[in-house]
Amino acid sequence: MISPYAKPGLIAHTPYEFASLLKFVETRYGLAPLTARDQDANDLLDSFDFEQVPQPPLILQPHPCLVVAVNAGGDAYTAADGTAYQADTRFTGGHTATTRATIADTTDQALYQSAREGDFS
């Protein structure tokens, strides 16, 4: 659970489902259940302590993501924005298709003039 009121370090073994969120709100605020499903659901309250001092926010530092770009159906290509596209290799099945037609609204014609089609993996 991510909440300033989540019990620190708790590993809950209670099974929850979507209706558990509704059951939580109903139980916490004294509301009647809307359906039998939320009436029977577990209410999440074992994961919270509303009497504790709220926990400070946990600020996560961003991590760079690995970008893998493939020029589907084509050769290796470096786009105008500097993105390096790998050649279309290591796929099985399907087939490649190309065109020499001009593609509107792009400066990277070669990138949009090839494709891999069909059933492939």
Query: Which tens digit of pLDDT belongs to each residue from 66-101?
Result: 888 999 999 999 999 999 999 998 888 888 999 999
Structural domain boundaries, residue 101: 69-120
Do 49 and 74 fall within a single domain? Answer: no
Do 79 and 27 fall within a single domain? Answer: no
Sequential DSSP letters for 31-80: PPPSSHHHHHS--SGGGB-TTSPPPPP--PPP-PPP--EE-TTS--EE-T
Percent above pLDDT 70 for the chain: 100
Is residue 22 included in any domain, yes or no? yes
Do 81 and 114 fall within a single domain? Answer: yes
Is residue 64 included in any domain, yes or no? no
Mean pLDDT, the chain, as a whole number?
92
Last residue of a domain, one of 32, 58, 84: 58
Split into its structural domains, the chain has a count of 2
SS3 category, 100: coil
Residue 118 is inside which H or E element, if any? strand 114-120
SS3 category, 20: helix
Do 78 and 112 fall within a single domain? Answer: yes
Question: What local confidence, expressed as pLDDT, does residue 65 receive?
Answer: 86
Tens digit of each residue's pLDDT (9 = 90 or more) over 11-31:
999 999 999 999 999 999 999
Q: Does 50 score more than 90 pLDDT? A: yes
Q: Does 47 score more than 90 pLDDT? A: yes
Question: What local confidence, expressed as pLDDT, does residue 35 receive?
Answer: 95
CB 67, CB 82: distance < 8 Å: no
Angstrom distance (rounded) from CA 86 to CA 91 = 12
Question: What local confidence, expressed as pLDDT, does residue 66 receive?
Answer: 84
Last residue of a domain, one of 14, 39, 58: 58
Tens digit of each residue's pLDDT (9 = 90 or more) over 74-83:
999 999 999 9
Do 18 and 45 fall within a single domain? Answer: yes
Do 46 and 23 fall within a single domain? Answer: yes
CB 106, CB 88: distance < 8 Å: no
Do 13 and 44 fall within a single domain? Answer: yes
Do 8 and 29 fall within a single domain? Answer: yes
Do 88 and 54 fall within a single domain? Answer: no
Do 13 and 38 fall within a single domain? Answer: yes
